[in-house]
Structure 1
Amino acid sequence: MSLFKARDWWSTILGEKEEFDLGCLCVADVDNSGSGQDKIIVGSYMGYLRIFNPHPVKPGDEVQPEDLLLEVQLREPILQVEVGKFVSGTEGLHLAVLHCRKLCVYAVSGTLGNVEHGNQYQIKLMYEHNLQRTACNMTYGPFGGVKGRDLICIQSMDGMLMLFEQESYAFGRFLPGFLLPGPLTYSSRTDSFITVSSCRQVESYKDLKGVIVTLSDDGHLQCSYLGTDPSLFQAPKVDSREINYEELDAEMKKLQKIIKEATKTQDILPKSEKHRDVIVTAEVSPDLDAESQAIDSEVKAESVPSVTVKITIQSRVTAQKPNLAVCVQAPLAVTCDQFVFDDLEPDSSETVMLSVFLKGNCSPSELEGNCLVSYNRPTELNPEGIPKVAECNFSLPLRLICFPAQPSKAANHKITIDTNKPPISFVTIFPDFVDPSEDDQTNVLGFQFLTGSKTTLLASKTSQRYRIQSDQLEDLWLITKQLKLRLEEHFKKQNCKDFACTFSGSIPLQEYFELIDQHFELRLNAEKFRELLSERAVQFRAIERRLLTRFKDKTPAPLQHLDTLLEGTFREVIALADAAEENQANMFRAFTKLKSATHLVIMLISLWQKLSADQVAILEATFLPLAEDTQELGWEETVDAAVSYLLRTCLSKSSKEQALTLGSQLCMPKDTSRLKKNITLFCDRLAKGGRLSLSTESATQQAVVMPGGCTTIPESDLEERTVIPGSTAMLPSHGQMAKQKSKPALSEDAAEEAEKP
């Protein structure tokens, strides 16, 4: 039996034949008396609200009249009463009364009485919420861990939780699998709502952090968390048998054989094309599409051409989940860049057709594309498949971005390529741009780019030289590259193995530096726009907060033109965002031009210094390290770090330079002066006999044998050239590279012939 019993201290009978429920009782210091003495609040289904303050003189005495502080008839059934911090601007306690279709919040206060009747109490309605759904019960608490206030959650009869942030309605959510309403309470420790479902199961719902939300490709949405499962495995009892070493050795040899077969190099290194499991090939149509497939092109031309690419996937084995991705370098684009196929059976194939066109309003730096097929190949040990890839590259025609045009006599930029073979007629090497009937134009050719610029190609009749000229430095690149490739293919067909191209002019560094400055200036503008947008956004949010405070105030104050300031700030944010977006587009075009000019400079340096393929690869890795340019990692600081590394290693003049250390962090520089200085010094070191290499031994030897100076002699073509002792190479001097613009290295008679249209 229990030691303690419930002993009567105070009791009373409420009304006549009134009905009450679990939520109709509440105990709290509802009048904020400060004495710490709680009152009893009772509501009934008949609509009566009563507040008691029991204090018997002696145990067992009858109820005193002054024990009933307040009794009012609210005319609507009272489902639940609660006391909490429900009014904004104060942490005082207020009374919340829940009716079927309404939630009312009252302030309970008392005034000192002057007669024997005692103090006088009354309630004042602070605010009310009209409910769209029939209420069942409610709970309250500091939802989400808020400080100094309580929020209210009401459960409707149809299973909706409605949350109220004091005077404002926050949001609502439906309970899953709802049938009948159950009890509802709030746990401040776990910050969750607890209820009992119709299945008699206790459920806890938790505005939950740390959940991982994943969506699969077949539409399966899942919320999960990182946790562990208990280990249900019990280790079997150890069998006390003797070890059979012969069986153990045999098993070990068998496992070693399996490991050896699985780690053969032939399964790791790429196989030859004939023995690949999956082969992907791309065939570019020799002619442009009769009807252009260009979509949303920004090029301001009458018609933007497109070319069809046919991609074939051949599988010799079972290939699961094959996925084809087609990539071209912006501003080029494809009509469709992703293809998903069903599983490929052995000796089966798939073919897709797509079109490539110029989408951006600038010329690309490369006319190449890439096809990549990813798939899973099942094995005996891994039936789900081992991930593998197959790829191929394809080249796009020059006619995709330019068309034949009338040659231009004058141009701002000119370069001259020397060869060791007589000039070839353009009818032979550029049949797609020359009409065979125009015999008089076989030594001069004009290229009109879709973006508006023009480039002219001339062949000397008396010397073995070709001149490329244009008003834009970057437009020289693709024509020069096409000229070199087509000449090499022509002489390869003629079984000529000693054909070579050289460059003896000056490297156009000053024009190249202008493109660097243009790109860097746009990067600085992007940083300024970002800072201005951040400032205006902070200002916009501050004005919003002040406006919301004014709107929530019970006694609204004048806006004092805050609405006008908000609208003006909003317009500034929109204007800055538009300007930043336009600057971003200009920066992309500037970076594309910079890449084209960089390709051109790399080719000229390689022809000038007769670099090997490995050395050209070092040049490309140094000057073209990024496929995309971002504010976090830009072209200028990346190239500056790479060039500085070469200057202190393979191109260093002494061990003192090799001891210099580079910065540990790449960040956007203040200007481009250091970068331009390093590039000029880089070309100067190459002119004085430096050789590109990534090995430390050759760098040390290079620092010893590098000559200390050079001499210059005038040549018949009016260009100064540097003569390296012990070498037959004719190289431009440092001063000429840094100051003089590019000039054609033609003799007088060849120059006259080349200038003729």
Structure 2
Amino acid sequence: MSLFKVKQWWSNTTNTENYKDRQNFSCMKVDKFSSHNDSDCILLGEGNLLQLFKPSLGQDALLLETELSDIILQIETGKFIGLSGDREIIVLHSQSYVIYELHRKEGLTDAGEQNNMTAVIKHAFKRRACNLTVGPFGSSKARDLICVQSLDGTFSFFDQDTFLFMCIFNDILIPGPVAYVMSSDMFVICKSTWALEIYSYQQLRESSELSLRQNKANIPQWSYNAGEEISAVQVVRTSSNFSSIIALGERHLYCFQDNGLMKELIRFDYTPICFHSYLIGWYYEPGARLLVMVASDDSKLYIYEGTKLLWACDLMIKAVSLCRCFINSLPGGVVTLSRDGVISVNYLGTEPNLNPNVNIVNEIVSPVEVQRELESVEEALKLIISDDKESVEDVSYIEKTISIKTDMGKPIENYYENNRYESDKSLQLIKCPLIITLICKEPELIQNIQVTYICSSPFIVSDNGKYIDDVNVTQIIKTDILMSNNYDLSNTNIKILFTVIDRTGKIIIINRSIMLPLKFYCSVGELNLENQIKLNIHVNEACLDLRNIFTDVTKEELSNFEDTVNNITFKYKTTDTTVTVSSNDQEYSIESVDFPEISPMLDHFLNKLNDYYIQTNIGVRITVKPSKEFISQMIHRFLKSIETHSKERMKLKKIQDELDVLQRQFTAVQKRLLVQYGSLPPAHCDTLEFLMKDTHQRIINIVYEIIQNRNVVCRAGNTLAAVGRLIICVLRNTSTDMLKVVLIEEMLSLDLLHDDCQEWEEAISKVSSFVCNKLFKNSEKDKEKLTPVTEQDTLSHINLKRLLKQLKIILEKVFDEINEGTQGNVRTEELVEII
């Protein structure tokens, strides 16, 4: 079997509002019109937007775009008006259909040609429509008739805007695909009982609503029980006497002659999404070949002739619709519509291409042309650099025009108000106001300002952002910071982004950061005698009174505790854990039971200490002095936090996969119940009803379990971020090579850990490999050992183990350089357990 890559020749991204609309209301039709007879045209309906494309090299593919008044359910083409020489377009809406004529007017100037659609027939009906099929029913030679299937399974037949008759089937609970066989004047109807039934047009006309009142049953010409849901049906004329009926099921592809004889049956080992069948040659020729294209859910395209697989291709996208087109520059193309609303015209290439995004160059390029292109690139770079200088000048000008002052108010405890976090009894009701004062000297130069707050869990902002359209001279913005859960504190700083748009339309972004008050998330507590972790901070001056450093804490709060001059213990309000700050001569120390508690306190203590000496104009040197044991335990704790976070993520993924299985099981039971309900007489359904109720209850239980495990993953992510920020803070205050510190900070990317996004391991796996191989000199053998297995998931046993080894090597070597003058190297404990 040969494997071929699908090479993209043309693509277009449609304008859609959201993903759900694209997925639920997308339909495509490819046909040729007399006004554009040199190439096929592509009609696309998305939501209430109708677009007409004509792909061609060097020209704009979009010919027409119009917004209709209702959602488009289906688009078909045909000759619905007898006097018209061109094919018309019929658009099906929920309770009406409209027939349009396509007109093309050649341009007399450089403006080019004009295309427009004119509605010639509009017809409304009371029943809500599901789909339609068109054709010369009853051997009509003048024009095509219209058959609309409603949601209740009723078939209504129309001639232009005239209602002909209605046919009702009592065993259709959910409408399915319908196709018309022109050679034998019959209809293929897929019922909710998983059966294909074929009726002639004469039968349907005779079994109208009046005939049903006389208790006349509809007896099909022939039928076939597929035993699975049929998702699509297509009819292709394959000979002078017969047509082929191709039906796509959940796991099979069926091919019948219109007399009921089965020609082929293909069982798939994948899940098909859509298909398209076509004939190579003319149907009256003996050598005509029927080919079927099938798109799978794993983004592949399979082409069959009979039961033989001819080609298998990578589509790179999940196609929801397939078709074949003939374009003047491409005799046979494959048109695909993806889930995200992208139409692509492709062709099957016979040359293997490992990188489909790179064009194959066969021409010999002149060195003179290469030099000319390099000079043009240099000129473009100079323009970019000059634009950057202008942007820097704009930022400085805006910062001079706008004065920004941020201030944190006093925390308010035991307040009462209706909020979504009030039900969490484990959290103390406390909030801290954040006040921003904007003073604009020249407000007429500013168009608008948008304020965005960024904070890390467990902190949240009552208002995510503020938009100021009318900028005044003085603007005061107030919001509240709250605590939402009982996670470890990873970052106690609030980042504020000011997006300023001036009158010329230029966008300038100004960053500000403010530290939360210590009293907001801490209270004074009892000394914990079990503290085993200690970090020393040395200064070249005598230690200060701790009450002068922690100004947020009042004397009344310290009066209940002894020795608060040289020793203060703080208790975190979210986790009830403690951290102790003590002073002795020229050295401070921070002690705790675990490392996540030290991280926010170290950051707050260093900021407060620097602020005090800056205000008093005293020059002092502050040095963080971690011991070897502290460094080894800190690295070991960081790697264990990564391991714990990965294990919880794997548990969550396993539960989510179980939910997917239960959802498919619930859908399968529902379908089977519909078949039982639709049978005459109705079959015994107690067992299926019990199974459906049991599956529904299991889905409810597993959803609650997913919510709980998601909270566990987020809590593990906060612990990981807290230990990671401690490592960065220690490196920033101990290392002399700031470039490596910045690289490691960017490599860890701890800001990626949010409540909704926990894919941290995937983000840093590639970066850690690059840093480990480029920043430090490793042998080729070591590089090979540390290379992730790309065929497996990042959380797999092998890849996770190698990621931990990479991070361990990087951190050890960085701290080794810090402790270069001491004896021995810093070594972390070996991980006892690896997933």
Note if 1:583 corresponds to 2:709. Answer: yes
Instruction: Output one character per residue of 1:288-308: Cα deviation in whole Å (capped at 9) or x when no partner.
Output: 237747733375457322111
Query: Shift in Å at residue 517 of structure 1?
Result: 2.2
Note if 1:319 corresponds to 2:425. Answer: no
| Cα 1:628/1:428, change in 2 over 3 Å | same
Match of 1:479 in 2: 601
Q: Which amino acid aligns with 2:565?
A: T
Query: Shift in Å at residue 286 of structure 1?
Result: 4.5
Instruction: Output one character per residue of 1:702-744: Cα deviation in whole Å (capped at 9) or x when no partner.
Output: xxxxxxxxxxxxxxxxxxxx7x4xxxx4366334x33699xxx
More strand by share: 2
| Cα 1:453/1:740, change in 2 over 3 Å | farther
User: Which has the larger displacement, 264-273 or 485-494?
Assistant: 264-273
Query: Shift in Å at residue 477 of structure 1?
Result: 0.8
1:282 and 1:394 in contact (8 A); partners too: no
| Cα 1:465/1:739, change in 2 over 3 Å | farther
Q: Which runs of structure 2 are paired with 1:655-694 in the superposition (5 Å)? A: 662=787, 667-671=793-797, 672-689=800-817
Q: Distance in 1 between matches of 2:231 and 2:703?
A: 37
Q: For residue 352 of structure 1, give the secondary structure of its aligned residue in structure 2.
A: strand
Q: Distance in 1 between matches of 2:342 and 2:138?
A: 46
Match of 2:647 in 1: 521
Note if 1:296 corresponds to 2:420. Answer: yes
Q: Distance in 2 between matches of 1:408 and 1:661?
A: 41
Query: Shift in Å at residue 314 of structure 1?
Result: 3.5
Note if 1:340 corresponds to 2:467. Answer: yes
Query: Shift in Å at residue 378 of structure 1?
Result: 2.8
Note if 1:734 corresponds to 2:826. Answer: yes
Q: Distance in 1 between matches of 2:831 and 2:583?
A: 24
Q: Distance in 1 between matches of 2:517 and 2:644?
A: 29
Residue in structure 2 matching 1:531, options 628, 640, 657: 657
Note if 1:490 corresponds to 2:609. Answer: no
1:280 and 1:314 in contact (8 A); partners too: yes
Give the TM-score, by structure 2 length.
0.51
Note if 1:546 corresponds to 2:672. Answer: yes
| Cα 1:417/1:740, change in 2 over 3 Å | farther
Residue in structure 1 matching 2:523, options 381, 403, 420: 403
1:540 and 1:566 in contact (8 A); partners too: yes
Q: Distance in 1 between matches of 2:643 and 2:530?
A: 25
2:538 and 2:623 in contact (8 A); partners too: yes
Q: Which runs of structure 2 are paired with 1:72-471 in the superposition (5 Å)? A: 80=165, 85=187, 88=191, 89=195, 90-93=197-200, 95=203, 103-104=209-210, 106=212, 124-125=216-217, 266-269=389-392, 271=394, 273=396, 275-276=398-399, 279=402, 281-289=404-412, 292=415, 295-297=419-421, 300-301=425-426, 303-315=428-440, 316=442, 317-344=444-471, 348-379=473-504, 385-433=505-553, 435=555, 438=559, 440-461=563-584, 463-471=585-593
Q: Which amino acid aligns with 2:569?
A: G
| Cα 1:414/1:146, change in 2 over 3 Å | farther
Q: Distance in 1 between matches of 2:410 and 2:757?
A: 42
Residue in structure 1 matching 2:739, options 578, 597, 614: 614
Question: What is the Cα-based RMSD across aligned positions, in Å?
Answer: 4.5
1:641 and 1:662 in contact (8 A); partners too: no
2:403 and 2:438 in contact (8 A); partners too: yes
Q: Percent identity?
A: 15
Q: Which amino acid aligns with 1:615?
A: K
Match of 1:191 in 2: none
| Cα 1:296/1:731, change in 2 over 3 Å | farther
Query: Shift in Å at residue 649 of structure 1?
Result: 1.8
Instruction: Output one character per residue of 1:105-152: Cα deviation in whole Å (capped at 9) or x when no partner.
Output: 559xxxxxxxxxxxxxx971559xxxxxxxxxxxxxx99977889xxx
Aligned residues: 492
Q: Distance in 2 between matches of 1:640 and 1:261?
A: 32
Q: Distance in 1 between matches of 2:211 and 2:693?
A: 36
Query: Shift in Å at residue 579 of structure 1?
Result: 0.8
Query: Shift in Å at residue 522 of structure 1?
Result: 0.7
Instruction: Output one character per residue of 1:328-378: Cα deviation in whole Å (capped at 9) or x when no partner.
Output: 222211221222333336xx2322211111112224311122233334323
2:395 and 2:509 in contact (8 A); partners too: no
Match of 2:36 in 1: none
Q: Which amino acid aligns with 2:406?
A: E
Q: Distance in 2 between matches of 1:369 and 1:530?
A: 33
Q: For residue 311 of structure 1, give the secondary structure of its aligned residue in structure 2.
A: strand
Query: Shift in Å at residue 38 of structure 1?
Result: 9.3
Q: Distance in 1 between matches of 2:784 and 2:571?
A: 50
Q: Distance in 2 between matches of 1:414 and 1:579?
A: 38
| Cα 1:124/1:655, change in 2 over 3 Å | closer
User: Which has the larger displacement, 287-296 or 514-523?
Assistant: 287-296
Q: Distance in 1 between matches of 2:501 and 2:211?
A: 64
Match of 2:727 in 1: 601
Q: Distance in 1 between matches of 2:831 and 2:205?
A: 89
Query: Shift in Å at residue 420 of structure 1?
Result: 3.5
1:404 and 1:446 in contact (8 A); partners too: yes
Q: Distance in 1 between matches of 2:494 and 2:622?
A: 27
2:413 and 2:429 in contact (8 A); partners too: no
Q: Which amino acid aligns with 1:402?
A: C
Residue in structure 2 matching 1:642, options 750, 762, 767: 767
Q: Distance in 2 between matches of 1:677 and 1:289?
A: 46
Query: Shift in Å at residue 431 of structure 1?
Result: 2.5
Note if 1:511 corresponds to 2:637. Answer: yes
Q: Distance in 2 between matches of 1:553 and 1:355?
A: 61
Q: For residue 510 of structure 1, give the secondary structure of its aligned residue in structure 2.
A: helix
1:365 and 1:592 in contact (8 A); partners too: yes
Q: Which amino acid aligns with 2:654?
A: K
Query: Shift in Å at residue 599 of structure 1?
Result: 0.9
Which one has the largest radius of gyration? Answer: 1
1:629 and 1:635 in contact (8 A); partners too: no
